A and B are shown apart, each in its own frame.
Chain A
Amino acid sequence: MHQLIISAAAEGDVNPLVPNGWEMLVVFVGFAILFFIVVKFVVPMFEKTFAERAEAIEGGIAKAEKAQAEASAALEEYKQQLTDARTEANRIREEARAEGAQILADLKEKAAAESARITAQAHAQIESERQAAVVSLRSEVGTLATTLAGRIVGESLDDDARAARVVDRFLADLESQNAGAAK
């Protein structure tokens, strides 16, 4: 290989700063072809891929954010519904309690009325039975007493008018005595 260098040095007058025109042309044409291919194909394809990738990533992020927002909205809605349902339940419970109390009061009132009615009826019945007893007693006691007294005293007391007067006077005395005792 040193022969090569020696031979190159032997040429002597070759200045490395002086270009070969054909080489310049080849580099120019080669670079122009490469530049054309790069402008026409390589850069557009890479840029398209980059843009699509960026879009895919950003689209994914946007989608995730949207899903997040929807989820929080749904959560908010459920919370709201839960609160509403609790309020509703409380209201229904309160109403039921009030209604129950109302029904109880009504029943009590009805029972009281019923008992009052029964009491009054009983009083009336007792009164009427007492009246009937008094009437029947009055006649029967009179008859019995008269019969008894007649038997004891004899026929003299058979006169009805007189007997009735005696009995009435006797009963009036009894009643006034009773009234005095009741006072």
Chain B
Amino acid sequence: MHLPAILPWGAAEGFSKQMLLVLLSVVFIAVFFVLAARKQQLVPGKLQFAGEAAYGFVRNGIAKDIIGGRDFIKYVPLLFSLFFFILVNNIYGAIPVFQLPTFSHVGGAYVLAGLVYVTWIAIGVKKNGLRYFKLATVPSGVPWYILPIVIPIEIISNFVVRPVTHSLRLFATMLAGHLIVMIAGSGIEYLIMQENVLLKGTSILVLAGAIAMYMLEALIMVLQAYVFTLLTAIYIEGALHADSH
């Protein structure tokens, strides 16, 4: 599934559309929020209000609710960047000209999940020292004879499976949605090409289905950005309060 590279044009390797979209998303997000935040008026204008609502959603709706405490503000920049970076890159898939959710290419998802993985382990070690690995893998209140079973499960689920599911969840939903919309489009094209009028007419049904799938896909794009950020917040919270889990 390689889209043609832009530089050099049409080559399998090179500067692809996906890369251009990723860099564009950085520009969009940075420009919008810097413009929105710049005025700093006590009574916000429309742009500032929109920016504050978006920022407040991540700050209060995710960081404060999940991490809480007094130092949740330290993790707001990471969560905020993740949410809007993924959101914009997903929404590309629903915008006609761009038409490519960049995380349908697995590399980006690996990078972000990897960053989050390193981050929460670092937070856990910084907060609890090396004891953190014991806290994260040996659950308290479990009888000693179950521990040989529980500890490997905890190690696998926390340190091996977690980053994989974290990245693949985002990648797979984006790829699947992208494929479904593409297949529906190809199907419509194929049916319209047919000589048979009835087969031509059937393309309308496919179109209706495609529109429904498009709406669902748009919802999933937003939802996955939220889920990815929410899971990040939950991992960080778990690392911060490892001794009470």
Contact = CB atoms under 8 A, between A and B. Distances in A.
Interface of A: 1-2, 4-5, 8, 11, 14, 16-24, 26-28, 30-31, 33-35, 37-39, 41-43, 45-50, 52-53, 56
A39 B42 contact: no
Nearest to A56: B42
Nearest to B22: A30
B105 A20 contact: yes
A43 B42 contact: no
B153 interface: no
A42 B106 contact: no
28 contacts: A1-B182, A5-B182, A8-B1, A8-B2, A11-B2, A14-B1, A17-B168, A20-B16, A21-B107, A22-B15, A22-B19, A23-B105, A24-B111, A26-B19, A30-B22, A30-B23, A31-B111, A34-B25, A34-B81, A34-B85, A41-B34, A41-B37, A42-B80, A43-B76, A43-B77, A45-B40, A46-B37, A46-B55
B85 A19 contact: no
Contact of A14 (B2, B44, B51, B59): B2
B157 interface: no
Contacts of B106: 16-19
B155 interface: no
Interface string B104-139: 011110111001000000000000000000000000
Interface residues of B, number: 52
A53 B41 CA distance: 9
A112 to B, nearest CB: 87
A45 B38 contact: yes
Interface stretch (B183-191, B195-203, B210-218): B183-191
Contacts of B185: 1
B33 interface: yes
Given A23-B105, A37-B30, 20 more contacts: A1-B186, A4-B186, A19-B106, A20-B2, A26-B18, A27-B22, A27-B102, A28-B115, A31-B81, A31-B111, A34-B84, A38-B30, A42-B37, A42-B80, A46-B51, A46-B55, A47-B73, A49-B41, A49-B44, A49-B52
Given A31-B111, A42-B37, A43-B77, A2 B190 contact: yes
Contacts of B14: 22
A144 to B, nearest CB: 129
B78 interface: yes
Nearest to B172: A16
A64 B168 CA distance: 55
A83 to B, nearest CB: 45
A143 B106 CA distance: 172
Contacts of A28: 111, 115
B18 A23 contact: yes
A8 B2 CA distance: 8
B29 interface: yes
B26 interface: yes
B77 A23 contact: no
Contacts of B183: 5
3 smallest beta-carbon distances between A and B, as pairs: A19-B107, A45-B37, A27-B108
A34 B111 contact: no
B175 interface: yes
B51 A23 contact: no
Contact of A23 (B19, B40, B76, B78): B19
